[in-house]
Amino acid sequence: MSSVLIIGPNFHYFMQSIERAFKTLGWDTNILTYDTPIHPFNAWNTVRYKIAADKEALREISKENWKNEVETKYESLKPDLVFIVNGENLLPESVKKFAKHSTVSLWLFDSAIRHPWLQALVPHTNYVFCYEQDDIQVLKSKYHVDAHFLPQAADTYLYHPIQEMSKNLDIVFAGDIWQSDKRKRLLQVIVKEFGTDRKIRIWGVYKPIYKGVWSWLTRERRDIYTNHYATAETLNRAYNSARIVLNIHNEQQTNGANPKVFEICGSGAYQLCDYNPYIESLFPNGEVGLYRNAEEMIAMVKDGIENDKFAQAAAAHQIIINHHTFTHRVQEMLDVVYK
């Protein structure tokens, strides 16, 4: 049996989804996770990081402190494949050691163009996979690496239709808000237009307390906004209860898809999403409503509330099940690595 060491950030659901996919495909798996921006991000280190004058220096110390743990883990396993997810807490010299005895595959789910620190590991890996298509040519020309597009996916263990669940929510959104002006602006439009007579639920950090206690305490519409992230179980139920699930990409995503594209459709819900060429290619027959501006978004929300979109949602769900699960993604990666 082939073996893989999966190294990535401490995103519980995401890392488990990757592990499940490898196990489904018959691999022996081990996982090693790290906290970001420094590891471990316990109470003491959280305070240290918040008050640090030189946060980058603290991140480098964190990498050095973790280096022995990760290299010891690797030496004890000597896996056939090291699958690194982002890898922001890894040092290049550790990846060099992995590559001496194992195949090293790196999956970047943040844009390497917009976050240059993600590029540090690229020259030392055998294969690089990007979740933003525009990154591929840049990495190929700059580092002469074997770079490929590998978008996110749905874990059908977590996101799936729930039979006979009533549609008691009109509009649902989940995602980080405070770091995206685009999301703030469009959600404000939604709440202003539909917040009086429609049931809206929004999950996501609107503003962390340490960024402004007063604004957090006095924020309006607590019946709509929940100022923290929701579990996958909560979101799957919310998506199944919604007439429309709204998706708004972060500004950095211009020709790819965030996880919500796949998770929302995986749950069987009807999705409205901001347009980009890749998402249009996924759903060429209107299975997902694509808007290009606030006016189109409002019109599509009204249409989705007034008219049943069951057929579109069912068709989108089938596309995900057939082509865009984590098992599909891992197999696509393995097809490249072991072609």
**Structure confidence by residue, pLDDT tens digits, 291-308:** 999 999 999 999 999 999
Full-model pTM: 0.92
Angstrom distance (rounded) from CA 258 to CA 273: 10
Q: What is the mean pLDDT of the chain?
A: 93
Q: Is the pLDDT of residue 218 over 60?
A: no
Q: Strand, helix or coil at 182? A: helix
Mean pLDDT over residues 151-163, rounded?
96
Lookup: tokens for 78: 């000597």
Within the chain, residue ranges assigned H as helices are: 12-24, 43-51, 55-77, 92-101, 134-143, 181-194, 213-217, 232-241, 259-266, 277-282, 294-306, 310-323, 326-337
CATH 3.40.50.2000 fits 169-323, yes or no: yes
The CATH architecture that domain 3-153+325-337 belongs to is 3-Layer(aba) Sandwich (3.40)
Write out the residue limits of the CATH 3.40.50.2000 domain(s) in the chain: 3-153+325-337, 169-323
Angstrom distance (rounded) from CA 49 to CA 321: 41
Lookup: tokens for 76: 């004890």
Q: Is the pLDDT of residue 112 over 80?
A: no
Q: If phi over 0 gives left and psi between -120 and 50 gives alpha, with beta otherwise, what is residue 192? A: alpha
Q: Are 4 and 29 in contact (CB under 8 A)?
A: yes
Long-range contacts of 39-44 (CB under 8 A, 24+ apart): 39/65, 39/66, 39/89
328 vs 24, 243, 323, CA distance in Å?
11, 28, 6
Task: Say what the pLDDT of residue 118 is.
Answer: 78
Q: With bands split at pLDDT 50, 70 and 90, how would you rate the model's confidence at 177?
A: confident
Query: Does residue 284 have a cis bond before it (omega within 30 degrees)?
Result: no
Per-residue pLDDT tens for 229-267?
899 999 999 999 999 999 999 888 888 899 999 999 999
Angstrom distance (rounded) from CA 195 to CA 331: 43
